[in-house]
Chains A and B, each alone.
Chain A
Amino acid sequence: MDSDDRELFVEQVREHHAGLRGFVRALGVDPLWVDDVAQEAFIVAYNRLDEFDKERDFGAWLRGIARNLVINERRKDARRKRILSDNLTDVLLSTSSYPEDVEEEMGDQGLAKMNALKFCIKDLPEKSLQMLKARYEEESSAQAIAEDFSMNPPAVRKALERLRTALRKCMEERLAPASA
């Protein structure tokens, strides 16, 4: 691998990591292990870069590698698995082409999605932001967040789900003009 290839690889990492992590997560990988699997996909790609046809879509190639890694997880001993459940991953893998554009959508435009999302998060009320940070930055459980916010765990999950829905809608709206 020459220096040009390495530079290309670094560029591809920066461009595709967000999309790849979303894609990996969408196959049922445990949130704690998403970065690990995504990093492993990049390392496999790095080691096989000579095999990559530069005319092809690097993101799609990466997703194929990641998909194979996740498939391999199902064959591991239970304690070595990085997925939540074999059955769940089976379903998510089997429907990864339904509808066909979902898989691409999951992995493409990663950076644009991240930027849009950051913009949307900035507009959140302070308390919503605190809850998001408790969940995603401090990695508090729903139980712990519930105690901090004087809520019940199911209500926390519901609030977070609504937040996610609102943020996703905001993100998609912000991306819509650019995509159109």
Chain B
Amino acid sequence: MKNESTPEDLLQSLLHDEADDAVASRLSECAGNDPALARRIGEELEFSEMLRQVLLEGDFTDQKLESVLESDALECGDLVARVVDGSATTFECDQVVKHLWENPEATAELKRSLAVDEWISEAVSESKSGEAFVEALETRMWAETRQDHFVEDLTARLEDEIDPPENVVPFPGSWIAPAAQVGAVAAALAIGAFFAVQVLPSSSKALAVASIVKSSSDVSWAKDSTQVQDGALKSGRYQLDSGVVSLKFASGNEMTVEGPAVFDVNDDATTFVHHGVALARRQNADMGISLRSKGLSVSDSAQLVGIDARSETSTDAIMFEGDGGICLTERGICRELYEMEAVKADLGRDKLVDIPYNPHAFAKAWELLSGVEKNMGSVRIEMPGSKVGPSHEDVGEVQVYVENDSFRPEADMEVDKISVGEFASAETNSGQALQTEGDLRSYLLQLWPSDGSADDEEVEASLTFDHPVVGVIYSSDRLASSDLSVGSAITHVGDGFNDLRGLDSGNDSLLLSKDRKTLNLKLKGGASQVDQVRVLVALN
């Protein structure tokens, strides 16, 4: 836009959504000197918004919701709504400001709206509840008032309790080292950082420090990435353009990375994720995991931790299972991070901030890490922390919950009888004792009842597990009695939930493949029965 453009030209440019920052700036300047122009801009934008919303009104498909919400016309437009939901850009905020200049009552109204929005958030979201706030404040106060002894405690434990075995090289330097050791820009993640290891013993793979144990079908590595040979990763920088890969270190600990991602694998068995989403799972009770980033460092006893390092300005960490310590790497200030808690390290401000537990960024990585693959049908692998409840999707979706990642079953645990290699109806049966030793993982498969309109609809699904299935439980009473045995951490929701769970005798059927890894289900949705199957797989 040329300098000689009139305010009218600038306004038209804005209304046609063609205003760049320079135009917006000049228009703001003009409006600042001309209240009439400022008012005109506000009116034009408001009218444009009204037109847009009227035109879109026909797409408001949920008439029931429409009628429920029917009320007086909105006092503020979409721009104000954007301010309220926090998505407004600076420019959009400025447009709202122009409107507010002339209307102090609207300002008071906006303030009330913002406050109410905050209260609704606190009332609806558990992570914003009063208890969560007080707990987070308490933790932060301990840290910021320098009364937190976590750093000293953990350092002492590292020195006293971990006795490195022979032929391992101690991790160089303290893990609470300043960020200068970690890298100035990159988000860094280290797994199994306490020990340098060699994963693959053969001579051709002697330099490998990790191996790929599983990957999605769409994995693609960049051309200039360090080459992955025979699934072995040597020291170097890797660029994963797409797909998800799970790496395993000799310590037994795993890291799953979702592309696009850039990460380093180092000789000392540490990995540094410059960009991307990563999940780390501790598989070895004797060796802790340590996730580190420029902004934060999660470590110690955590069992499943994730970091989201896709942003250049912040890094998120989320504790899925177990508890651990989290530190600001640059300042060495530490606090505890409990299960289902999440924090954001603001890289510019060098500050840890509690954020809501929102695991969705890790959905793809979790699908691979969960150890179950969907072959057929509408299947959703639920994230850790999900409550057993209705599916958010259409009726007919099978939900898969990882109830307990690893546990040792009780001796008298009873499972249902199931034939192998052929479809058979789920029948009432006398059951049998679980014949296995060692650690198990428990999955709960569920088909939530329909809304009553699809009683006779049959849902088919097929799942393949990483480990052999050693027990299947589908009887209501055995499901209830085994809840405690599997140590299910899932919170069931809804009254009378336990009364109608399990498979419907004679109607639902299932097939376990001969290799005991693939389970096919044919389920009648029904209007009241919650179809549930507990699947136990042997980890070793």
Contact = CB atoms under 8 A, between A and B. Distances in A.
A77 B348 CA distance: 9
Contacts of B85: 31, 135, 142, 157, 160
Contacts of B62: 127, 149-151
A64 interface: no
B97 A91 contact: yes
A161 B65 contact: no
Interface string B82-109: 1111111010011011001100100110
B295 to A, nearest CB: 13
A70 to B, nearest CB: 12
Interface stretch (B137-145, B204-212, B369-377, B402-410): B137-145
A152 B56 contact: yes
B164 interface: no
Contacts of B59: 151-152, 155
Contact of B123 (A117, A150, A165): A117
Contact of B313 (A38, A47, A79, A171): A79
B354 A159 contact: no
Contact of B108 (A18, A99, A118, A121): A99
Contact of B111 (A102, A114, A137, A152): A102
Contact of B354 (A35, A141, A151): A35
Contact of A167 (B116, B118, B358): B116
Contacts of A132: 120, 124
Contact of B74 (A99, A152, A161): A161
Contacts of A133: 124-125
Nearest to B140: A39
Interface in B10-38: none
Given A35-B136, A39-B140, A142-B85, A47 B145 contact: yes
B242 interface: no
A172 B153 CA distance: 49
Given A31-B118, A151-B61, A166 B69 contact: yes
Given A35-B354, A98-B104, A157-B81, A113 B134 contact: no
Contact of A85 (B93, B122, B313, B360): B93
Contacts of A157: 78, 81-82, 85
B202 interface: no
A30 to B, nearest CB: 6
Interface in B43-74: 52-53, 56-57, 59-62, 64-66, 68-72, 74
A58 interface: no
Interface residues of A, number: 82
Nearest to B347: A79
Interface string A78-92: 011000110110111
A57 B120 CA distance: 25
| Main SS at interface, chain A | helix
A118 to B, nearest CB: 5
A90 B101 CA distance: 11
Contact of B124 (A80, A96, A121, A142): A121
Given A13-B137, A141-B87, A163-B69, A35 B128 contact: yes
A159 B348 CA distance: 36
Given A99-B108, A118-B123, A151-B61, A17 B133 contact: yes
Contacts of B313: 79
B157 interface: no
Given A33-B353, A95-B108, A171-B116, A148 B392 contact: yes
B135 to A, nearest CB: 11
A139 B121 CA distance: 9
Contact of A30 (B86, B112, B119): B86
Interface string A1-31: 0000000000001100110011111111011
A34 interface: yes
A141 B87 CA distance: 8
B358 to A, nearest CB: 6
Given A80-B348, A80-B349, A137-B356, 19 more contacts: A13-B134, A21-B119, A24-B118, A28-B114, A39-B136, A43-B140, A46-B145, A84-B86, A84-B90, A95-B100, A114-B122, A117-B123, A136-B124, A151-B61, A151-B62, A157-B78, A158-B53, A161-B81, A167-B120
Interface of A: 13-14, 17-18, 21-28, 30-36, 38-39, 42-43, 46-47, 77, 79-80, 84-85, 87-88, 90-92, 95-96, 98-99, 102, 105-106, 110, 113-114, 117-118, 121, 125, 127-128, 130-133, 135-139, 141-142, 148-152, 154-155, 157-168, 171
15 contacts: A18-B130, A28-B93, A32-B353, A87-B97, A91-B100, A96-B111, A98-B104, A102-B108, A114-B122, A125-B64, A128-B69, A151-B60, A159-B60, A162-B74, A168-B113
